[in-house]
Amino acid sequence: MADENPKRPAFWNRKERKDGQDEEPKSGQKEIWEQPFAGYKVYDKIAQGGSGAVFLARDERLGRDVAIKALTPDLQSNENAVDLFFNEARNVARLRHPNIVRGYDVGRTGTYFYFVMEFVRGESLGVKLDRLDRHRLQEKEAFRIVREILKALQCVFETGLVHRDVKPGNILLGNNGDVKLCDLGIAREVAFATPEAVVMGSPSYASPEQVRGDCDIDIRADIYGLGCTWFHMITGQPPYRGETAQQVMQKHLDEEADLPSPRDLDPRLSAATSALIGWMMAKDREKRPRTPQQLLNKMREHPLCKMIEEEERHRDAIARISTPTLDELKEELLGDLIHGDRVVDDDEPAADAAAATDAGGEGGGEQADEQAEKVAADAAEEAQELTENARKLEETLSEIQPQE
């Protein structure tokens, strides 16, 4: 629920949208929204929490939709809140993976600290579970989501970080099938650990070592949180429940509070899935998978994995049929230029080359090569953009982050 405060700017007090993140920006809203972020046109508020809000905006320079997370005005002078905010920007700059939300820009206006991120058109896993009648997913769909998040966590692990708050609300499901991990605000380097005065994480998904406030949290805490999330996805409820957060956290700690089997709640669920969740949620972290990759390797033995991989092979085959390879494109361009039977379309990448030469010209092969090289260059553009984004984020952070 939006937290209105008459002392905050009217911009901040606007209500967030209630119907998910699946609408195009409405041009009619341009005149009624204040525009505090230079270079970005804000269209809507899509989420708000205690420490900040997320706005849907348009990057006017690059012509793409983005999500802008802004720190609550009330917290601008709160050193811990500002530290967490910039920590997320720094971590996103370090983590480049298709299953992790990308960061584009970070800055400060007269009123806000803000962070510009990839906009995932869809909804969070938490929102999806809440809106479903039985608050749960099919076992195969849940398996696929867990597998994608484990790939993200392997990147987190290899970078030397721990997310520390893996839960349904921090997993985004794109309308195109993408699965992405987000909200890296409380992520920390494994080597940097101090005892916490409060539990860093969410009670229903926090590992026993997080509840205890241990200072040596590692990636196995994230594996535990993902196990809790998997349990929730297939049963419709978190593994441990209680009347208060303290009661829930105590059950994570209590060795005698046995983990309920997902099959007790739904006998149709497979024993293999229940066994994997039990392994992930072992109260002694030494009995959990050591790394996300170890768990991914084990998941390959699951019958559902074979089904999903077969479906992915079929999709890849269709994509290969509909998207020509570089050599195929060169061959097609050369043939069209030699035989002069190509119908030129301004929207096609070969249009300029086809229009620039007569059939049979000796320059046809060279022009085909040029067009093919252009396709290759375009394909590499996104990777270059990611590298440049990371560099700019690091530079901007060093300029605007408050000095200790």
Q: In the prediction, which pLDDT does 334 show?
A: 58
Alpha-carbon gap, residue 287 to 275, rounded angstroms: 13
The secondary structure element, H or E, covering residue 113 is strand 113-118
Q: How many domains does the chain have?
A: 3
Same domain, 271 and 354: no
Q: In the prediction, which pLDDT does 225 show?
A: 97
Tokens (6 digits) for 97: 């993976």
Residue 174: helix, strand or coil by DSSP?
Answer: strand
Q: In the prediction, which pLDDT does 259 show?
A: 85
Q: Using 50, 70 and 90 to split pLDDT, how confident is the model at 4?
A: very low
Same domain, 279 and 135: yes
Question: Is 3 contained in some domain?
Answer: no
Q: Using 50, 70 and 90 to split pLDDT, how confident is the model at 250?
A: very high
Same domain, 112 and 169: no
For the chain, what is the mean pLDDT?
A: 78
Tokens (6 digits) for 222: 């994230």
The range of the structural domain enclosing residue 332 comes to 324-374
- Is 165 marked active-site? yes
Q: What is the DSSP secondary-structure string of 67-112?
A: EEEEE-GGGTT-HHHHHHHHHHHHHHHH---TTB--EEEEEE-SS-
pTM summary value:
0.72
Show Cβ contacts of residue 332 under 8 Å, excluding neighbours closer than 6 positions. Answer: 324, 350
Same domain, 173 and 28: no
The single residue of 165, 183, 218, 222 carrying the catalytic annotation is 165
Q: Which of 70-74, 124-128, 143-147, 370-374 has the lowest mean pLDDT?
A: 370-374
For the segment 166-178, the average pLDDT, to the nearest whole number, is 94
Q: Angle at Cα 335 formed by Cα 333 and Cα 340, nearest 5°? A: 95
Question: Is 381 contained in some domain?
Answer: no
Q: Which of 27-36, 343-352, 373-382 has the lowest mean pLDDT?
A: 343-352
Judge contact between 103 and 117, C-beta under 8 A: yes
Q: Of 119, 145, 177, which closes a domain?
A: 119
Query: Can you give the length of the chain in residues?
Result: 404
The pLDDT tens digits of the residues spanning 37-88 come to 888 998 888 888 777 888 899 999 889 999 998 888 888 888 888 888 887 7
Q: Using 50, 70 and 90 to split pLDDT, how confident is the model at 275?
A: very high
Same domain, 137 and 39: no
Instruction: For residue 25, give the DSSP letter.
Output: P
Q: In the prediction, which pLDDT does 79 show?
A: 84
Same domain, 38 and 113: yes
Query: Does residue 341 have a pLDDT over 50?
Result: no
Question: Is 289 contained in some domain?
Answer: yes
